[in-house]
Amino acid sequence: MAPTYNIAMVSDFFFPQPGGVESHIYQLSSKLMDRGHKVIIITHAYDGRTGVRYLTNGLKVYHVPFLVIYRSTTFPTVFSFFPMFRNIVLRERIDIVHGHASLSNLCHEAILHARTMGLRTVFTDHSLFGFADAASILTNKLLKFSLSDVDHVICVSHTCKENTVLRASLDPLMVSVIPNAVVAENFKPPDASELSSNSFGQNPPPARPLGPHDTITIVVISRLFYNKGTDLLTAAIPRILENHPNTRFIIAGSGPKAIDLEQMIEQNVLQDRVEMLGSIRHEEVRDVMVRGHIYLHPSLTEAFGTVIVEAASCGLYVVCTQVGGIPEVLPSHMTVFAKPEEDDLVAATGKAIAALRANKVRTELFHEQVKSMYSWTNVALRTERVYNGISGAISEAEFYGYDASNPATWSATRGRSGVQSFALIDRLKRYYGCGIWAGKLFCLCVIVDYLIFLLLELWFPRDKIDICPDWPRKPRNERRESGVR
């Protein structure tokens, strides 16, 4: 019987704000609770949402009052979160602190304080960063600071792992790749009643052959920003429509580049072939997707690209640019890859249209395939292995996969991957290596943090803090475990 843990997910980004990180945290938390763990979520207070909230499944959310500066990121104060964080952690008897998203200041602070308090920490990175511009350099330095003493890092794709390893100078073995998943039930292809055909409940579902003159609908759902490749889209749409009669576009999403798209539509008089829906809610995404046959994703950078998995789950053939982690996400029979070039995107879309017209692509099978590839249960299981590894339930040798009998093979990383020691001096050693000046500054921060911790122990003694009664935990379903590694 594997142990169960009390886990605190910490991130600036959570509901009611919509987004990928938010739903990742929610889905992962609820699946972990299904597996018998206790999970709470700590985020900052949103408008009209303060204090403690309970979500479905008894998921408890702490909305901590904090100054929000930019796009719901809190102001980095390094220490000010500590008293409240300590209180929550002690109340909830937390063992593992799991931070999300590298732009979230709350998460970095929580990791620092958690290590000071002697807790295990995990960090999940959801995004890619470059190394060139000033903003990235600053973010990378801060990431290095908080990840100097983290126990394990989870990345959503292999590209993301490479990126994070370089940015934070981590040992690659303490970085796991656990992808996002989709709730396949929410992204079903149009069923029989929606298609108004008489085939009913067949397994596998019947193919939907396309006639040579049927209209093929290409769906684009993305925020219309520069890095989502809207410029490519704007350039490619008129050419695609010109090359292929009987095609039309549905574009959902809003953003600063929407005006370019509208201008393109008017210049080329494509009002009847390009439909712009504006921004849509996440619940409506599926309903828009099932109206199309091809999903076009022209993004310029993407860590994982959940939306293309959702599209494939809806039974759409996916045309996407080959950037970031996208090539790892879907098998080649579901996708046509394009370089981030106008010509190549047009050609790839043409290829996809031709393949659909020839009825070569079994899109009706996609849903089941995607369902077997990505599920949150699997993600939770794999995350649980990380928890087991860092808390010692799995032996270090097994978790990190080195030969314990031959320490010479692993001397270089022992300092990093064997992050077992909470001794202040060991932690300082790890921070000191961060850079000539930064190392000393980071050490100073850690020492101050430790002093604050001692002060808090005196000021608010542990035994004076109430222990919060737990919800009855779900019994652990061992049967489910056997199927997956």
Residues from 2 through 21 that contact another protein (CB under 8 A): none
Q: Which is nearer to another protein, 404 or 467 (CB)?
A: 404
Of 54, 358, 401, 448, which lies in the binding site for another protein, with binding defined by CB under 8 A?
A: 401
- 313 in Cβ contact with 366 (< 8 Å): yes
Q: Which residues, numbered 420-459, are part of the site for another protein (CB under 8 A)?
A: 433-436, 438
Does 315 bind another protein (CB under 8 A)? Our answer is no
Does 343 bind another protein (CB under 8 A)? Our answer is yes
Tokens 């960063």 correspond to what residue?
129
Nearest partner of 79 among 445, 455, 461, judged by Cα: 445
Q: Which is nearer to another protein, 172 or 206 (CB)?
A: 172
Of 193, 202, 203, 406, which lies in the binding site for another protein, with binding defined by CB under 8 A?
A: 406
Provide the edge-to-edge strand list for the sheet that holds 247-252. 274-278, 247-252, 216-221, 294-297, 317-321, 335-338
Q: Which stretch binds another protein (CB under 8 A): 66-74, 197-205, 380-388, 444-452?
A: 380-388
Q: Which residues, numbered 51-110, are part of the site for another protein (CB under 8 A)?
A: none
Q: Which stretch binds another protein (CB under 8 A): 7-15, 24-32, 340-348, 456-464?
A: 340-348
> What does 301-333 look like in DSSP terms, one character per residue?
--SS-HHHHHHHHTT-EEEEE--TTGGGTS-TT
Q: Which is nearer to another protein, 199 or 322 (CB)?
A: 322
Q: Which residues are CB-neighbours of 299 under 8 A, at least 6 positions away?
A: 222, 227, 228, 229, 305, 320, 321, 323, 324, 326
Q: Which residues, numbered 253-282, are part of the site for another protein (CB under 8 A)?
A: 260, 263-264
Q: Which stretch binds another protein (CB under 8 A): 78-86, 222-230, 420-428, 471-479?
A: 222-230
CA–CA separation, 332 and 395 (whole Å) = 37
- 363 in Cβ contact with 190 (< 8 Å): no
Q: Tell me how far, at minimum, the Cβ of 22 lies from another protein, in Å.
A: 21
Does 371 bind another protein (CB under 8 A)? Our answer is no
Q: Which is nearer to another protein, 14 or 187 (CB)?
A: 187
Provide the edge-to-edge strand list for the sheet that holds 96-100. 51-55, 59-64, 38-44, 6-10, 96-100, 120-125, 152-155, 175-177
Nearest partner of 139 among 162, 169, 168, 174, judged by Cα: 168
Cα dist from 430 to 3, 137, 476, whole Å:
29, 20, 37
CA–CA separation, 450 and 475 (whole Å) = 38
Q: Tell me how far, at minimum, the Cβ of 354 lies from another protein, in Å.
A: 20
Q: Tell me how far, at minimum, the Cβ of 229 lies from another protein, in Å.
A: 6
Does 374 bind another protein (CB under 8 A)? Our answer is yes
Does 413 bind another protein (CB under 8 A)? Our answer is yes
CA–CA separation, 406 and 415 (whole Å) = 16
Buried b (16+ CB within 10 A) or exposed e, 269-291: ebeebbbbbeeeeeeebbebbbe
Buried b (16+ CB within 10 A) or exposed e, 42-60: bbbeeeeeeeebeeeeebb
Of 86, 325, 336, 347, which lies in the binding site for another protein, with binding defined by CB under 8 A?
A: 325
Q: Tell me how far, at minimum, the Cβ of 328 lies from another protein, in Å.
A: 5
Q: How far separated are the first and last CA of the chain, in Å rounded?
A: 16
Q: Which residues, numbered 165-204, are part of the site for another protein (CB under 8 A)?
A: 165-166, 169-179
Does 396 bind another protein (CB under 8 A)? Our answer is no
Of 32, 101, 103, 330, which lies in the binding site for another protein, with binding defined by CB under 8 A?
A: 330
CA–CA separation, 245 and 455 (whole Å) = 73
Q: What is the amino acid identity at position 46?
A: Y
Q: Tell me how far, at minimum, the Cβ of 119 lies from another protein, in Å.
A: 20
Q: Which stretch binds another protein (CB under 8 A): 11-19, 108-116, 301-309, 446-454?
A: 301-309
Q: Which stretch binds another protein (CB under 8 A): 11-19, 210-218, 300-308, 454-462?
A: 300-308
Q: Which stretch binds another protein (CB under 8 A): 158-166, 199-207, 245-253, 449-457?
A: 158-166
Q: Which is nearer to another protein, 81 or 366 (CB)?
A: 366
Nearest partner of 97 among 65, 66, 122, judged by Cα: 122
Of 12, 109, 151, 231, which lies in the binding site for another protein, with binding defined by CB under 8 A?
A: 231
Q: Which stretch binds another protein (CB under 8 A): 136-144, 442-450, 458-466, 470-478?
A: 136-144
Q: How many residues bind another protein (CB under 8 A)?
A: 84
